[in-house]
């Protein structure tokens, strides 16, 4: 091996060699070895240095012992941790199972409630229909915008004269209101139902068999407040005024109709109630 | 010899006392062990070569431990604690091997 090759080899290893040489430099390189039996000069062996050396040695031993104990204890620690984790997993599994059971229960309850809702939807629809029909039949109190027709006998009209409001007049007015789309009509607080008669008994007009006294106040729910001049009601009232001098007025406003007294059928059975409702519905145009 | 007695005393103390290493000190434990081993092996080599010196023993151990601990602390702060720890352990382990090889040569002439 020539010098150049050796130098190149040394250069190639130089960095690593230098690194290792520095890294592993002997701490005691500057201390000359002593001969056999030779002792250090006293200045090098003063008491504090020896004490510190002992202390360092104690620390080193302590560190070693602690390291061993820690390494050995870590097995116990691992086992403990493992056992604890197992325990925790088991506990959490139980919790998860409970939650799953809760979820299943809640899901079943939701299903049941949905089914109930579906079932009750039909019932609700029926109830809605019943309520609607009851309003139309006059069996339920209703309130809302409408018109109030007030009509009175002609001033100074005598009993038996034609200048008084007759049952027939009220019937025509009521029919005109029905035709205008009234959803409910009451005369002097007597709700008209499909079975309500407007008739006279002597000088009195009976509505639902109750005698009324003038002026007659006919409340109609749901009729348009804007009355066309050529409507049946207008023509009728104009005719009554011009022919018989009956004072009348039509006022739009909110009306509140009481529930009518639809008597319990004596002949019809409960099973025929549907047909009866149809009749009542048919009475409202 | 007095250092060996101290070493044994420290081991006995550690075994009897059974101290618990605080969590914050755990990253420094391996470094401390390797640095301690380095100091011990270096001291043994010097002892065999009759060059042992308490002053150098103390200073080399303390400085090595402090530098190693500081490097690990710095590495932890910079997020490269594991790499720095590896570097420190590698360097100290090289010193241990070198000193152990010297001891082997001195004792067995091999």
Is B12 contained in some domain?
A: no
Predicted confidence (pLDDT) per residue in B54-90, tens digit? 788 888 888 888 888 888 888 888 888 888 888 888 8
CATH of A141-264, one of 3.40.50.2000, 3.30.70.1880, 3.30.2090.10, 3.30.1640.10: 3.30.70.1880
Supply A132's token pair: 């609607």
In our burial notation (b when 16+ CB lie closer than 10 A, e otherwise), range A187-213 reads bbebbbbbbbebeeeeeebbbbeeebe
Q: Which ipTM was obtained for this model?
A: 0.70
Whole-angstrom distance, CA of residue A48 vs CA of residue A19? 35
pLDDT category at A284 given cuts 50, 70, 90 is: very low
B-chain residues within 8 Å CB-CB of A66? 14, 19, 21, 29
- Name the 3-class secondary structure at A12: helix
Put simply, the answer to whether B58 touches A63 (Cβ < 8 Å) is no
Question: Which residue in A32, A38, A66 is closest to B21 by CB distance?
Answer: A66
Q: Is A197 or A47 the better-scoring residue by pLDDT? A: A197
Per-residue pLDDT at A62: 82
Q: How many CB pairs under 8 A join A and B?
A: 140
Lowest mean pLDDT among A25-29, A185-189, B80-84, B87-91: A25-29
B67: containing domain: 25-108
Question: Per CB distance under 8 Å, which residues of A are interface residues toward B?
Answer: 20, 23-24, 26-28, 31-36, 38, 40, 44-45, 49-50, 52-67, 69-70
Is B17 contained in some domain?
A: no
Pairing type for strands A247-257 and A210-212 reads unpaired
Put simply, the answer to whether A24 touches B46 (Cβ < 8 Å) is no
Whole-angstrom distance, CA of residue A135 vs CA of residue A191? 11
Suggest the residue from A51, A58, A68 to mutate for an interface test with chain B (most B CBs closer than 10 A).
Answer: A58
Contact A264, A119 (CB under 8 A): no
Per-residue pLDDT at A160: 67
Q: Is A79 or A22 the better-scoring residue by pLDDT? A: A79
Is B91 contained in some domain?
A: yes
- Name the 3-class secondary structure at A216: strand
Is B76 contained in some domain?
A: yes
Is B14 contained in some domain?
A: no
Whole-angstrom distance, CA of residue A138 vs CA of residue B86? 96
Contact A138, A245 (CB under 8 A): no
Domain count, chain B: 1
Where along chain A do its domains lie? Answer: 44-115, 141-264
Question: Which residue in A24, A32, A49 is closest to B55 by CB distance?
Answer: A49
Whole-angstrom distance, CA of residue A123 vs CA of residue A119? 7
Q: What are phi and psi of A13, to 5 degrees?
A: -90, -5
Is B92 contained in some domain?
A: yes
Q: What are phi and psi of A41, to 5 degrees?
A: -60, 145
Question: Which residue in A33, A49, A60 is closest to B10 by CB distance?
Answer: A60
What would the mean pLDDT of A96-105 be, rounded to a whole number?
A: 92
């Amino acid at each position: 091996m020539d010098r150049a090759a050796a130098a190149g080899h040394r250069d190639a290893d130089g960095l690593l060699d230098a690194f290792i040489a520095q890294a592993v430099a002997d701490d005691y390189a500057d201390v000359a070895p002593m001969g056999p039996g030779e002792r250090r000069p006293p200045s090098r062996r003063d008491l504090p240095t020896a004490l510190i050396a002992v202390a360092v040695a104690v620390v080193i031993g302590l560190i070693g012992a602690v390291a061993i104990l820690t390494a050995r204890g870590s097995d116990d620690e691992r086992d403990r941790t493992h056992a604890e984790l197992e325990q925790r997993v088991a506990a959490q599994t139980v919790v998860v199972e409970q939650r799953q059971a809760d979820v299943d229960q809640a899901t079943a309850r939701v299903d049941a409630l949905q089914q109930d809702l579906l079932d009750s939807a039909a019932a609700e629809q029926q109830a809605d229909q019943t309520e609607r029909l009851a309003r139309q039949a006059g069996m339920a109190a209703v309130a809302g915008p409408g018109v109030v027709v007030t009509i009175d006998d002609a001033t100074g009209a005598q009993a038996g004269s034609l200048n008084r409001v007759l049952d027939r007049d009220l019937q025509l007015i009521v029919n005109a209101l029905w035709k205008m789309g009234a959803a409910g009509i009451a005369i002097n607080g007597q709700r008209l139902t499909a079975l309500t008669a407007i008739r006279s008994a002597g000088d009195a007009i009976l509505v639902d068999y109750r005698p009324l006294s003038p002026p007659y106040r006919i409340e109609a729910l749901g009729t348009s407040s804007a009355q066309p001049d050529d409507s049946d009601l207008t023509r009728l009232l104009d005719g009554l005024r011009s022919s018989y001098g009956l004072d009348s007025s039509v006022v739009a406003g909110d009306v509140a109709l009481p529930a009518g007294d639809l008597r319990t059928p004596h002949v019809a059975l409960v099973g025929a109630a549907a047909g009866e409702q149809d009749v009542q519905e048919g009475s409202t145009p | 010899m007095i250092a060996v007695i101290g070493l044994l005393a420290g081991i006995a103390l550690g075994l009897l006392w059974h101290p618990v290493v605080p969590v914050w000190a755990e990253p420094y434990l391996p470094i401390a062990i390797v640095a301690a081993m380095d100091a011990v092996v270096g001291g043994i080599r010097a002892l065999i070569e009759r060059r042992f010196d308490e002053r150098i023993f103390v200073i080399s151990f303390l400085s090595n431990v402090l530098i190693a601990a500081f490097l690990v602390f710095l590495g932890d702060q910079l997020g490269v604690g594991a790499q720095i720890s590896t570097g420190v352990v590698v360097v100290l382990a090289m010193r241990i091997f070198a000193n152990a090889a010297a001891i082997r040569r001195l004792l067995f002439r091999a």
